[in-house]
Structure 1
Amino acid sequence: MMSEDQEISLGQKYNAEILEEMPTYPDPVLEELVQRVGKKLASHSHRPGLDYHFTIVDSAQVNAFALPGGYIYITRGMLAYLNSEAELAAVLGHEIGHVTARHSVRQQSTSAVTGILGAVLAASTGIQGADSLTNLAGTAIVRGYGREHELEADRLGAEYLARSGYNPEAMLQVVSILKNQEAFETTVAKKEGREANVYHGLFSTHPDNDARFREVITAAKKYKTDGTSRIGRDSYLLRLDGLTFGDSEHGGVVRGNHFYHKDLDFSLAFPSGWKINNQTSRVIATPTAKDGLIQLTMDSPDKKVTPKQFMQQHLNLNNLRQGKTFNTNGLKGYTAVATGNTPWGQRRIRYVVVSRNNSLYIFAGTARSADQASKYDADILATAKSLHPLTKAEKKLAAGKKLDIIRAPKGATWASLARHSPITNYPEEQLRLLNDQYPTGEPGKSEMIKIVR
Structure 2
Amino acid sequence: GILAYLNSEAELAAVLGHEIGHVTARHGVRQQSAAQAANIGLTIASIFVPEINTMGGSNLANIVGGALLSGYGRDHELEADRLGAEYLTRTAYDPQAIITVIGVLKNQELKDAELAKQEGREPRRYHGVFASHPDNDTRLHQAVGEAEKNGAAHAHFEGRREFLAATDGMIFNDNSEQGIVRNNAFYHDELGIAVQFPRSWQVHNLPTSLVAVSPQGEAQLQMKLDESPRGTPGEYARRLVGSGAQVRSLDVNGLPAAIFDLPNTAGGVVFHNKRAFVLQAQGKTRNNLTAYRDDIISTVRSFHALNDEERQHVKPLTLNVITARTGDTFANLSHNSPLGLSAESYLRLINARYPSG
TM-score normalised to structure 1 length: 0.53
In structure 1, runs of 5+ residues without a counterpart are: 1-74, 106-140, 339-346, 441-453
Match of 1:423 among 332, 337, 346: 337
Distance in 1 between residues matched to 2:108 and 2:174, nearest whole Å:
18
Mapped contact 1:300–1:358 kept (Cα < 8 A): yes
What does 1:392-431 align with in structure 2 at a 5 Å threshold? Answer: 394-404=310-320, 415=328, 423=337
**1:246 maps to 2:159:** no
Distance 1:430 1:293, change over 3 A: closer
Number of the residue aligned with 2:53: none
Change (3 A) 1:321 1:262: same
1:205 partner letter: A
Give the whole-Å Cα distance in 2 for the aligned partners of 1:371 and 1:431. 36
Q: 1:335 to 1:399 in 2, by over 3 A?
A: same
CA distance in 2, matches of 1:283, 1:429: 21
Q: Return closer, same or farther for 1:157/1:297 CA change in 2, 3 Å cut-off.
A: same
Equivalent residue in structure 1 for 2:198, among 271, 275, 284: 271
CA contact (8 A) 1:155 1:217 kept: no
SS of residue in 1 equivalent to 2:178: coil
Q: Is the strand fraction higher in 1 or 2?
A: 1
Compare 212-221 and 239-248 and name the one that shifted more.
Answer: 239-248
* Structure with more contact order per residue of length (Cα contacts < 8 Å, sep ≥ 6): 2
Residues 23-69 of structure 1: CA distance to partner in whole angstroms, max 9, x if unpaired? Answer: xxxxxxxxxxxxxxxxxxxxxxxxxxxxxxxxxxxxxxxxxxxxxxx
Among 257, 272, 285, the residue aligned to 1:356: 272
Amino acid at match of 2:232: T
The superposition leaves residues 361-400 of structure 1 with CA deviations (integer Å, 9 ceiling, x where unpaired) of: 1112111225766554443322111112345654444433
2:226·2:277 contact (CA, 8 Å) conserved in 1?
A: yes
* Alignment partner of 1:84 is 2:8: yes
Report SS of the residue matched to 1:366. Answer: strand
Q: Percent identity?
A: 28
Write the distance in 2 (CA, Å) between the matches of 1:429 and 1:286.
17
**Aligned residue type for 1:149:** G
Aligned residues: 308
Describe the superposition over 1:269-296 as per-residue Cα deviations: whole angstroms up to 9, x where unpaired.
2233211111122110111222221100
Residues 1:290 and 2:217 are matched in the alignment: yes
- Using a 3 Å threshold, how does the CA distance of structure 1 residues 198 and 173 change in structure 2: closer, same or farther? farther
Q: Secondary structure at the match of 1:273?
A: coil
Name the Cα RMSD after superposition: 4.6
Aligned to 2:284: 368
Q: Check the 8 A contact 1:159/1:168 in 2, yes or no.
A: no
- Deviation at 1:245? 1.9
After TM superposition, give the deviation of residue 414 of structure 1 in Å. Answer: 8.2
Unaligned 5+ residue runs, structure 2? 32-66
Richer in helix (by share): 2
CA deviation profile, 1:249-268 (whole Å, cap 9, x unmatched): 44333233332334434322
Are the structure 2 counterparts of residues 333 and 97 from structure 1 closer, same or farther at C-alpha, using a change threshold of 3 Å?
farther
Please point out which of 252, 273, 296 is paired with 1:380. Answer: 296
Mapping of residues 30-429 of structure 1, within 5 Å:
75=1, 78-94=2-18, 101-102=27-28, 149-150=73-74, 152-163=76-87, 165=90, 166-177=93-104, 201-203=125-127, 205-207=131-133, 208-221=135-148, 224=151, 231-301=158-228, 305-311=231-237, 319=243, 321-336=245-260, 348-369=264-285, 374-390=290-306, 394-404=310-320, 415=328, 423=337
How has the CA–CA distance of structure 1 residues 157 and 266 changed in structure 2, closer, same or farther, with 3 Å as cutoff? same
Does the C-alpha gap of structure 1 residues 184 and 287 become closer, same or farther in structure 2, counting only changes over 3 Å? closer
For residues 68 and 303 of structure 2, what CA distance do their matches in structure 1 show? 33
Question: For 1:335, what is the secondary structure of its paired residue?
Answer: strand
Task: Tell whether the 8 Å contact from 2:8 to 2:161 is kept in structure 1 after alignment.
Answer: yes
Secondary structure at the aligned position of 1:290 is classed as coil
- Deviation, structure 1 residue 214: 1.2
Instruction: Determine the C-alpha separation between the residues in 1 that align with 2:295 and 2:335.
Output: 33
Separation in 1 of the partners of 2:124 and 2:165?
Answer: 26
Shift in alpha-carbon separation, 1:142–1:295, aligned structure 2, 3 A:
farther
Q: Distance in 2 between matches of 1:329 and 1:167?
A: 58
Tell me how far apart the structure 2 counterparts of residues 248 and 414 of structure 1 sit (CA, whole Å): 33
| Residues 82-91 or 170-179, more deviating | 170-179
